[in-house]
Structure 1
Amino acid sequence: MAEDRRPHLVVFTGSGISAESGIQTFRAGDGLWADHPLEEVATPEAWRRDPRRVLAFYNMRRTQVRRARPNAAHKALAALEKSGFRVSIITQNIDDLHERAGSRNVLHLHGEILKARSTVDARMQYRLPRGGIELGDICDKGSQLRPDVVWFGESVPHFSEACKTVAEADLLLVVGTSLAVMPAASLLDHAPLEAPCVLVDPEAEVLSPPGVARLSQTAGKGVPRLVRYWKREGRLWIPETLMA
């Protein structure tokens, strides 16, 4: 197979891009997470202690995801791919908004909420086109199903694949993440030295590591703005006039 020489944009997205579609982040002080401390619903210990509560919480989150719609940032990235650019998306988000916008190459570091998986064999996954997971729902091996999400304290199974993808980037675009969750935040260390990196976030001035360009806008404004430049010029670059 011939090597794909198209410009390769690798996009790393966090909760900020989904928040603009109405999906509450766990770091926010209100909304869905307010009455659910993460140690009570998003850890292996919580699952062992009270699986019914964990399932109920993720059933609520699943409903929220299904009601959400892709925003301008999701749509712009999908449009860039459709226009001929090679676009790989690595996301910390467990929703399917990138896919619904039309992106075809999406890697979910922390799992997918619209899937269930076996508690005894993580390779056994089941799509959830409707409804949720209840106690008594079992896999083909007879074990209880759980959300296909990576809880705090669990390993990130696709991290090595994500590192390889970042290492192939011509430009790395980081959107809506605090770069505080490890090991995902260390992905930037795997980018080629010659590949520029830009962070799009309202707090980019504070969050941006050294050497990373900053676009202090929401994902819904900043990402379409960059995409318009790239489509017009036919190449990936960071216009200095935008970094303000």
Structure 2
Amino acid sequence: MDEAVIRDVARLIVEANGRTVALTGAGISVESGIPDFRSPGGLWERFNPMEYATIDAFDADPGKVWQMLRELSRVVTEARPNPAHVALARLEELGLLEGIVTQNIDNLHQAAGSKNVIEFHGNGSRLRCLLCGHTEDARAAEARFAVEFPPLCPCCKVALKPDVVLFGEAIPEDAGREAMRLTQRAAVVLVVGTSALVAPASYLPIVARKMGAALVEINPEETVLSRDYARFALRGKAGEVLPRLVAAVEAARGGSRPA
């Protein structure tokens, strides 16, 4: 990895003075033990998403869909933040990162200390009743699996659903609106651990670039973004690249305290 490029990106972030946004995908959480759903050994290899991960399938047979959701819930609740999540939280603490827009449902950004996290696909650490809106911590429901599966709403006695976006459901309107607002005003956009193939999140870096933002891709492999849109591409694992980038940011601004 070119240290000169890291220093250049660090200077951009400092000069942006808080107008930096991070767009994160599955790749940032792989180092926390959460495999990309689409990768070999991932969730979709064992559960056909069109059979187990649609809202129609949940409505028709929540017990069947919960066979997949149980595995998803276990992976999410056992995972812990890695150095990439911690580095982004530090960048926000410094007053240099306005927010994170994530496609992930693992709650790891919040667990690392990030405050402004826009969740495009929801959050698997909580469950929600589709009838009354009751919410519950996923760990609490998991503790009941031996006697109650799928977990039921205590009010309505219907199956609870992880508060995530299944196929056939719309992106939460407020999340889409805030994500667009952040990317349209950003001066620097860090694209971390995503191939930018899944719409509508895939549109965000393109919108940001058209609005004049400098795109910085942090990914082990080249993607369409690095070929066509990114000003800088930092190759490597997010858990290795981001801590070095944040260290360079702190050096560039002289270790000053949060704004």
Name the TM tier (shorter chain): 0.7 to 0.9
Deviation string 1:20-50 (CA, Å, 9 cap, x unpaired) is 1110221112144422111122112321343
Q: Which residue pairs with 2:97 in the alignment?
A: 86
Q: Which moved more, 1:22-31 or 1:131-140?
A: 131-140
- Give the 3 Å change call, closer, same or farther, for CA 139–214 of structure 1 in structure 2: farther
On the 8 A contact 2:32/2:79 being kept in 1, the answer is yes
1:201 positional shift:
0.6
CA contact (8 A) 2:196 2:225 kept: yes
TM-score norm. by structure 2 comes to 0.80
Number of matched pairs: 230
User: In structure 2, what is the equivalent of residue 162 of structure 1?
Assistant: 179
Q: 1:196 aligns with which of 196, 214, 229?
A: 214
**Percent identity (aligned):** 38
Distance 1:71 1:136, change over 3 A: closer
Q: 1:18 to 1:142 in 2, by over 3 A?
A: same
Which of 32, 36, 41 aligns to 1:25? It is 36
Q: Is the 8 A contact 1:90 1:162 kept in 2?
A: yes
Aligned position for 1:241: none
Label 1:35 to 1:205 Cα distance change in 2 as closer, same or farther (>3 A). Answer: closer
Q: Does 1:180 align with 2:197?
A: yes
1:146 maps to which of 155, 158, 161: 161
> Which amino acid in 2 is paired with 1:128?
A
For residue 104 of structure 1, what is the aligned residue in structure 2? Answer: 115
Q: CA distance change for structure 1 residues 64 and 82 in 2, over 3 Å: closer, same or farther?
A: same
* 1:8-19 mapped onto 2 (5 Å cutoff): 8-19=19-30
Q: Structure 1: any 5+ residue segments left out of the alignment?
A: 236-244
Corresponding position of 1:240: none
Q: Distance in 1 between matches of 2:78 and 2:236?
A: 25
User: Whose relative contact order is higher, 1 or 2, with alpha carbons under 8 Å and at least 6 apart?
Assistant: 2
Which TM-score applies when normalising by structure 1?
A: 0.84
Query: Could you tell me which residue of structure 2 aligns to residue 130 of structure 1?
Result: 140
Alpha-carbon RMSD: 2.3
SS at match of 1:184: coil
> Match of 2:247, SS?
helix
SS at match of 2:126: strand
**Alignment equivalent of 2:236, drawn from 217, 220, 232:** 217
Change (3 A) 1:136 1:220: closer
**Could you say what secondary structure the match of 1:208 adopts?**
helix
Relative to structure 1, the CA distance from residue 31 to residue 167 in structure 2 (aligned partners, 3 Å threshold; closer, same or farther) is closer
Q: CA deviation at 1:93?
A: 0.3
